[in-house]
Structure 1
């Protein structure tokens, strides 16, 4: 029987007001597993390169470039988000983790640094799908009031994956000169679990996206299948005559330009410091002359966990704009204080560094919900994809430059550069960042 995607009879209730149920738990689990996998996949590269240097000569250029490769691949968010807006969320999320698994396993067979760089680059592209399309699907399924809160929670799972990579990389047994290859292949285990979960639990299509493409009746059928007959589309989506005709240039129209700038700059300046410092923490700790690098690293990453938990608590009680500005200001002051005190004791350095990790990790909670709130449904995946793509320029820049800066001028130079970048983020948010808290907008 053919489906006529035209206006249907008025359903009883907006599906976005349905209580949290089995379909919401399923979608959330599928996206959470992807976040853990992506966090682990990003974090393992710096530690693997550190282990490789024990057996193989690798200069600062290739160390930084391979560490930044996955982040450069995430620049593909620009196109993955656009693709997700054109063909839908479901297809991309079903295939990307299988490709992630294949690419991870190929690390076992690649012997050249350019080959490793290409694999890391392609892995970043697979992560881009989860970051953009996965977040769009989650927001479009979760009930009103649940979306931004649970998006913030995703960063807790991403951070756990990132920290797990540090622990696995630190305590993985030394099996010879190929140890670094096993570490880079390790995320394939997590991605395979994620891929199989998505296949067997089945990812539902996004009703909101279907309706935005003019497929109103199909969207209604998806809602009834997962939530029951009494639920349907919100009123504004029940009479869509044709698909929305939007492109990348729409982001730079008068309506979206300010939000496009804020989304990219806030995310990029934050990522420059976060990824640069976190991925090459062992190198930085050594330069700071902090003894017991393993213990110091665990303390730093413990600060990250505390930060995302505190950030999640604050996020639910504080408006977006003051949250952004206050965390940027605090992180900037802390990293500059650390840079200005190169001869301070290890205890003072580690205390400042841990406080910096807590504050910057608190701000991570805003990455997904704030960028999603900056754009409406017709251009959400494209807008979020653009923000992530710009942020990866910052992240890749920090990851590439940090070992080079540390080699040239020590930890202090790297800290000063991070502080200046964070200051740019602070000023941008101070003058341009809009308030997007749904409670206030109502």
Structure 2
């Protein structure tokens, strides 16, 4: 009997697509907020509790270290599905955020930041996989590249909250840290109310074709169904991490992880501890300078979203690395006037943050469905080594050699990232393959 169902990945956008997209967007805002809030909170904490540069860096990097669990979260999602993990992670995220209010113990704060990072890892890996497995193929890359805009909004909101929350005395920095529970609860409640659907593609990969077909027809319509290639595919065996380092996937795994790590080293190191860096650079009115920098980050991701479908992935990656490195070099060797420094710093923010629009779609495009969550999770795990290193080292480097030393190290890492992409990064854009 001839199979008459049309591929659900070619269906027009329906309510279910927007429901899944909004659920992931709200998670991205919460994740961006939680990662950004630690810098301003810890800067204030130094006024009330004894905390050295190493602990500032370690607690600031705690969530990023937790994100190293992305590979584990991706593996669990490839074995047990996406939906259930996304239904609980934001509630746990909110609980761990709230617990920051009741302790000043540095080790416990680090553990809580680590656990928050682990919940963010679920949203990064599992949320991205669910989104790409529901969205129509022609919409997937564009919508994924726009996720970073919402993440950046969350990150900027955390900076604004950090400089405006006041009046709580010695507990003010704890209130700032705890405030991440608000976007977390909003995301969790929406997912509960909207009843996130499971992934049809994942169900099919587990041999549950009938269940997948019913899900598609319930949400998209009777004439839509699984593509023939998924219907005919054998159920996936348990995926081992070692497959990502076989000849078929090795280059993609390393490029996906290393480009992300080099980018994250500079971005998180500078952005999370922006108040410390701006103060050390001697910039007048560091709060205003921070708002300008964060505003330029938002401009950057909007520019990146516009560029995403217009230039090749390779050119985009290489350009953002090398041009952002050039901007930092200009800051190091250029005049020390406030106007020049903040102007180049703003340009740096625009260039580097425009490259963030590749962080979600590019790793996803590197892997096929049977290893997608595991592959993306592994790339994120590798990248968080860079992010955590940058966040831990920036206050230490700034204390040792001032802002110039911190920026010099970031420049070297960005150049290394550009060279990795120049020699190894595969082109994944359908338009330029």
How many residues are aligned here? 433
- Measured at CA, do residues 9 and 130 of structure 1 come closer, stay the same or move farther in structure 2, by a change above 3 Å? farther
- Asked if residue 149 in structure 1 is aligned to residue 142 in structure 2, the reply is yes
1:246-287 deviations in Å (ceiling 9; x for gaps): 211110010001101100110000000000000000110111
Task: Show the 5 A alignment for 1:43-58.
Answer: 43-58=36-51
Asked if the contact 1:339–1:413 (Cα under 8 Å) also holds between the matched residues in 2, the reply is no
Asked if the contact 1:216–1:240 (Cα under 8 Å) also holds between the matched residues in 2, the reply is no
Q: 104, 108, 116: which is aligned to 1:111?
A: 104
* SS across alignment from 1:423: helix
What is the match of residue 387 of structure 2? 395
Task: Show the 5 A alignment for 1:4-83.
Answer: 10-83=3-76
1:191-242 deviations in Å (ceiling 9; x for gaps): 1111111011011110111111111111111101111110001111012333
What is the match of residue 363 of structure 2? 371
Report the Cα offset of residue 108 of structure 1.
1.2
Q: How far apart in 1 are the matches of 2:353 and 2:141?
A: 17
Q: How far apart in 2 are the matches of 1:122 and 1:142?
A: 30
1:414-433 deviations in Å (ceiling 9; x for gaps): 01000000111011000000
Asked if the contact 2:94–2:182 (Cα under 8 Å) also holds between the matched residues in 1, the reply is yes
Task: Show the 5 A alignment for 1:128-207.
Answer: 128-207=121-200
What is the match of residue 324 of structure 1? 317
- What stretches of structure 1 of length at least 5 have no aligned partner? 1-7
* SS across alignment from 1:439: coil
1:274-332 deviations in Å (ceiling 9; x for gaps): 00000000110111111100110011011101100000000021110111111111011
Task: Show the 5 A alignment for 1:166-315.
Answer: 166-315=159-308
Asked if the contact 2:236–2:370 (Cα under 8 Å) also holds between the matched residues in 1, the reply is no
What is the match of residue 428 of structure 1? 420
Q: What root-mean-square deviation, in Å, do the aligned CA atoms of Structure 1 and Structure 2 show?
A: 1.1
- What stretches of structure 2 of length at least 5 have no aligned partner? none
Per the normalisation by structure 2, the TM-score is 0.98
Asked if the contact 2:318–2:418 (Cα under 8 Å) also holds between the matched residues in 1, the reply is yes
Q: How far apart in 1 are the matches of 2:291 and 2:121?
A: 28
What is the match of residue 5 of structure 1? none
* SS across alignment from 1:392: helix
Asked if the contact 1:152–1:312 (Cα under 8 Å) also holds between the matched residues in 2, the reply is yes
- Measured at CA, do residues 9 and 202 of structure 1 come closer, stay the same or move farther in structure 2, by a change above 3 Å? farther
Asked if the contact 1:340–1:412 (Cα under 8 Å) also holds between the matched residues in 2, the reply is no
What is the match of residue 355 of structure 1? 347
* Runs of 4+ deviating beyond 3 Å: none
1:152-195 deviations in Å (ceiling 9; x for gaps): 11000000000000000001123110111111111111111111
Q: How far apart in 1 are the matches of 2:113 and 2:170?
A: 20
Q: How far apart in 1 are the matches of 2:41 and 2:51?
A: 12
Q: How far apart in 1 are the matches of 2:226 and 2:66?
A: 36
Report the Cα offset of residue 95 of structure 1.
0.7
Q: How far apart in 1 are the matches of 2:228 and 2:283?
A: 60
* SS across alignment from 1:40: helix
